């Protein structure tokens, strides 16, 4: 992960965050672990500035969600009626819809912290014709909060724990495991409800 961050630089990281949040094919890209790793490396090396990093990736996250919303708004039914493929799985959409049923408009903010759901949430909002001004407010709040919380977590970890940059793979694995807790929890609840009925 560290090598990816170093090679990608600002432009590559911007493209990855934009694709993960805005394009339906982006669900397989690293999100949380990438941001934490970028913040950690910014604390150790001179190649990345944490403030430029946070600002650029916040913009990428907001623009990405806006593109995802537009895809859902203008192409929604055609996109979601497609057959399953490597890049599109109706189960991901179903998980996102369940998330919406539970959390409503707050999904735009909360989904930022849930892998896979964060990719499909803006598109589902577009399909549902959520008012764009309302969507944009949640989008900006969620995008900025997600990016800065992850980048600064990595940054302060790197400042606090010596030589942590030499153990980036463990940091990435821990972040990935933590970020999947909400999905596992939702799956267990859904499984329990299905078994009960």
Residue, of 85 and 8, whose pLDDT is higher: 8
Predicted confidence (pLDDT) at residue 151 exceeds the cutoff of 90: yes
Contact 35, 54 (CB under 8 A): no
| pLDDT, position 113 | 84
pLDDT in tens, 43-82: 886 778 999 999 999 999 999 999 999 988 888 767 666 6
| pLDDT, position 182 | 65
How far, CA to CA in Å, does 170 sit from each of 12, 37, 150, 175? 23, 11, 16, 9
pLDDT in tens, 15-54: 999 998 888 777 667 778 889 889 988 988 677 899 999 9
| pLDDT, position 152 | 94
Average pLDDT over residues 90-98: 67
| pLDDT, position 34 | 87
Contact 69, 135 (CB under 8 A): yes
Rounded CA-CA distance 15/95 in Å is: 25
| pLDDT, position 45 | 66
pTM of the predicted model, to two decimals?
Answer: 0.78
pLDDT in tens, 101-120: 677 778 788 888 887 788 88
């Amino acid at each position: 992960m560290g090598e990816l961050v170093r090679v990608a630089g600002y432009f590559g990281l911007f493209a990855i965050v934009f694709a993960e949040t805005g394009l339906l094919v982006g669900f397989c890209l690293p999100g949380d672990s990438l941001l934490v790793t970028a913040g950690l490396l910014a604390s150790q090396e001179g190649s990345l500035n944490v403030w430029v990093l946070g600002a650029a990736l916040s913009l990428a996250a907001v623009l990405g969600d806006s593109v995802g919303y537009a895809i859902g708004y203008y192409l929604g039914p055609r996109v979601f009626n497609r057959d399953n493929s490597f890049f599109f799985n109706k189960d991901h959409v179903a998980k996102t819809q369940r998330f919406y049923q539970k959390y409503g408009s707050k999904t735009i903010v909360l989904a930022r912290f849930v892998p896979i759901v964060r990719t499909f949430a803006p598109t589902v909002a577009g399909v549902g014709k959520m008012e764009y001004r309302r969507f944009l407010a949640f989008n900006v709040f969620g995008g900025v909060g997600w990016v800065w919380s992850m980048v600064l977590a990595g940054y302060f970890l790197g400042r606090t724990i010596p030589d942590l940059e030499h153990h980036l793979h463990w940091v990435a694995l821990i972040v990935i495991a933590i970020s999947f807790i909400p999905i596992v929890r939702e799956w267990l609840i859904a499984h329990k409800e299905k078994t009960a009925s």
